Amino acid sequence: MLPGIFVFAVMKKNTNLRSLAAQAVEQVVENGQSLSNVLPPLQQKVSDKDKALLQELCFGVLRTLSQLEWLINKLMSRPMTGKQRTIHYLIMVGFYQLIYTRIPPHAALAETVEGAVAIKRPLLKGLINGVLRQFQRQQDVLLDAFAQSESRSLHPSWLLKRLQSAYPQQWEAIIEANNQRPPMWLRVNRNHHSRDAWLALLEEAGHKGFTHPDYPDAIRLASPLPVHALPGFEEGWVTVQDASAQGCMTFLAPENGEQILDLCAAPGGKTTHILEAASNAQVMAVDVDEKRLSRVYDNLKRLGMKAQVKQGDGRYPAQWCDGIQFDRILLDAPCSATGVIRRHPDIKWLRRDRDIPELAGLQREILDAVWPHLKSGGTLVYATCSILPEENSEQIRAFLERTPDAVLSGTGTPDNPGKQNLPAAEEGDGFFYAKLIKK
């Protein structure tokens, strides 16, 4: 046993964080991989105390990618290509540390340069060192110039144009919120404690939190905490969930004894929120992604809850709904996720303009397919974590026009349907809701 333990410890010690961050960012930008898929396996290669730094470097580089790209173009005569492309992203990791972290510059430089050895490009150490030192000498001038450039929004041009068109008065506030680190919101399980009672436990543990005026179970932490520091997390007293996502329950208003469908349910935050609000409801949680359904099971297990969990495509409910007519349906529709960019900065670089009409078409298919499975008098809440009208108000307006037995309830007007939340520093994420009643 001892030799194996020793080798494992050495491997952990010699892992270069900067090279791992560069590889992760390369997978996102060059290969279209989601950071949530790429990062966890890489975090297994580092010690527990280094996991947070690796995450910070990956998220930070993707948050500021257009700035770092601009700097490389100013400081290098030609781009790195082919097998040397990882070096391009390693230099970005170096820039990010020098601009945005408190890591001593000499340590940031040394570790980033050594990253070339970890990715088997030792001959390029001198190049990396030279570019980073040149940036240090010109840092103030370069950053001032970037602040006047077209890339200063840190958003791709197609998304910036859509935001400017949809929100001519608010787009600057939106991109500013998108470029910030997100607040950490919690949902108190009302079956264990009232929100205020749990908040008192949090304060007894030496941490501060703030309630939300609209969402009765929501608490925002003054500073993010690891879940093991939250009173009763393992016992199911509290769940990490953004305030805007919790807003779905305000409009769904589930009741005991009802048949309720949570469609596109993974990872299960809303499924468990339904059961916290109505513990005797019969809940079916359905998602097309079988792998992500494991998260639904995990959440149900931690909270000691039961639901019928199924893999299925929302466009074809006859294949999985067993002929059930539901009292309430929560459709958290697949979307561009443009409302949660501050939590998932890779979205800016994974999404394309052409994706928006394709997603709107998919949303339309699911809405039309699931509506017949709602009881007369029943409630359907359509929700997205998007802030683009094509997926939201325009989607619901078109649905109301072609669906005679659908009535909008308490969320906007037929001309401007739905309630749109926009991301803000001390608020929830960007989120859209429309509550529909079947006549």
- Residues annotated in the binding site for S-adenosyl-L-methionine, as ranges? 264-270, 287, 313, 332
What whole-number distance in Å separates Cα of residue 12 and Cα of residue 33?
Answer: 25
CA 273 to chain CA centroid, nearest Å = 18
The angle that helices 125-146 and 65-75 make with each other, rounded to 10 degrees, is: 110
**What number of H helices and E strands is found in the chain?**
17, 12
Q: Are 418 and 432 in contact (CB under 8 A)?
A: yes
What whole-number distance in Å separates Cα of residue 427 and Cα of residue 218?
Answer: 11
Going across the sheet that includes 218-221, the strands are: 209-211, 218-221, 185-188, 238-240
Nearest C-alpha neighbor of 98 from the set 148, 50, 137, 144: 137
DSSP assignment, residue 336? Answer: -
What whole-number distance in Å separates Cα of residue 349 and Cα of residue 118?
Answer: 26
Q: What is the three-class DSSP state of 248?
A: helix
What whole-number distance in Å separates Cα of residue 246 and Cα of residue 240?
Answer: 10
One-character DSSP codes across 87-126: HHHHHHHHHHHHHH--S-HHHHHHHHHHHHHHTT-GGGHH
Between strands 326-332 and 419-421, the pairing is unpaired
Q: Which of 58, 248, 335, 385 is catalytic?
A: 385
Q: Are 268 and 289 in contact (CB under 8 A)?
A: no
List the structure tokens of 310. 């199924």
Annotated binding site: 264-270, 287, 313, 332
**Cα radius of gyration rounded to whole Å, the chain:** 24
Check if 335 is active-site: no
- Strand ranges inside 234-361, DSSP E: 238-240, 259-263, 282-287, 308-311, 326-332
* Contacting residues for 30 by C-beta, under 8 A, at least 6 apart: 85
Query: 105 preceded by cis ω (within 30°)?
Result: no
User: Mind telling me the catalytic residues?
Assistant: 385
